[in-house]
Structure 1
Amino acid sequence: MKPIGIIFLLIGAILFTIAGFTFYNQQQFLDKAHVASGRVIEVRKDRSSKGGRTFYPIVEFIDQQGKSIRFNSSFSSSPPAYEVGELVEVYYDYNNPYQAEIKGFFPQWLAVLISSTMGLIFSTIGIVILSISGRVKKKTKVAAEQWPQN
């Protein structure tokens, strides 16, 4: 049972590491990002991994150099979170304006939230398994010491 607990702890640590890197990268992007007003010009349908439909917005905005930029949001949802014509705020990289995302909690932090939550779940399961394994081993040792010797 102990190796299973260690495996869960390792998976939890890996997920926490991914959450940390994702958080750091997102924070670095936000620190240097410019904000612009954009408009949803289209909502495209796509197939989800579960076979259903998911919708992601295509947004157009004008960068600081006056260039019209269109990008596909990396965040999709079902039902659609945005409507054609809706005004949104956009974060974008000045040096690469096509690296852009709609300003909002889920587009910025969903990956961090999921990986850290999964890391917490796996780590907790690993700790519980190791704790139970340790108690069983301790009880077995105590019982063996109390067993009458001939």
Structure 2
Amino acid sequence: MGTLLMIGGLIAAGVSVSYLTDAERAPGTVVSLEWRNDTHSGSRKQRANDGPTAYPVVEFTSADGTPRTFRSSAGSNPPSYERGEQVEVLYLADSPDDARINGFTSLWLLPVILGGIGLVMAGIGTTIAITTRRRS
């Protein structure tokens, strides 16, 4: 299981690197924060200690001069960005509506989580396998 998670982390990192390589860059501005009560683990009930999550809504102008707005898929509480904050936007020229903020959370959080959990699980599994083999 740990190895599969590490492979998933490597694939997610590869997707981020590919996106960074192909992406156009543009200055953007956080115009608002969209607060949402996200449910966790498929549960329909909100846990008592969970609060709403803030997703930045960003405006930028693509290379063709078209003004565009998108809501980041990466939200947090407390908010990572403030209204009026300047950010760098990454987008694909052939798909400018698929834009991302050039930041750690939107590009690297998933690969780090998958890879980190996979590394820990693979280490535990390897230790157990070596210990069991030495005892038998």
State TM-score, norm by structure 2. Answer: 0.88
Query: Which amino acid is 1:127 matched to?
Result: T
Corresponding position of 2:44:
none
Which ranges in structure 2 are unaligned for 5 or more consecutive residues?
Answer: 41-46
Corresponding position of 2:29:
39
Q: How far 1:19 sits from its partner (Å)?
A: 1.0
Corresponding position of 1:79:
78
Describe the SS at the equivalent of 1:19: helix
Corresponding position of 1:96:
95
Corresponding position of 1:148:
none
Q: How far 1:87 sits from its partner (Å)?
A: 1.0
Corresponding position of 1:3:
none
Query: Which amino acid is 1:112 matched to?
Result: P
Corresponding position of 1:13:
3
Q: How far 1:71 sits from its partner (Å)?
A: 0.7
Which deviates more from structure 2 when the two are superposed, residues 125-134 or residues 114-123? 125-134
Corresponding position of 1:119:
118
**RMSD (CA atoms):** 1.1
Q: Does 1:135 align with 2:124?
A: no
Describe the SS at the equivalent of 1:97: strand
Q: How far 1:53 sits from its partner (Å)?
A: 1.6
Distance (whole Å) between structure 2 residues aligned to residue 126 and residue 116 of structure 1: 15
Distance (whole Å) between structure 1 residues aligned to residue 102 and residue 19 of structure 2: 12
Q: How far 1:47 sits from its partner (Å)?
A: 1.7
- Deviation track 1:9-37 (CA, whole Å, cap 9, x = no partner) reads xx111111111111111111110101101
Describe the SS at the equivalent of 2:119: helix
Larger strand share, 1 or 2: 2
Which ranges in structure 1 are unaligned for 5 or more consecutive residues?
Answer: 1-10, 138-150
| Superposed structure 1 runs of 4+ greater than 4 Å apart | none
Corresponding position of 1:140:
none
Query: Which amino acid is 1:74 matched to?
Result: S
Q: Which has the larger radius of gyration?
A: 1
Distance (whole Å) between structure 2 residues aligned to residue 108 and residue 26 of structure 1: 6
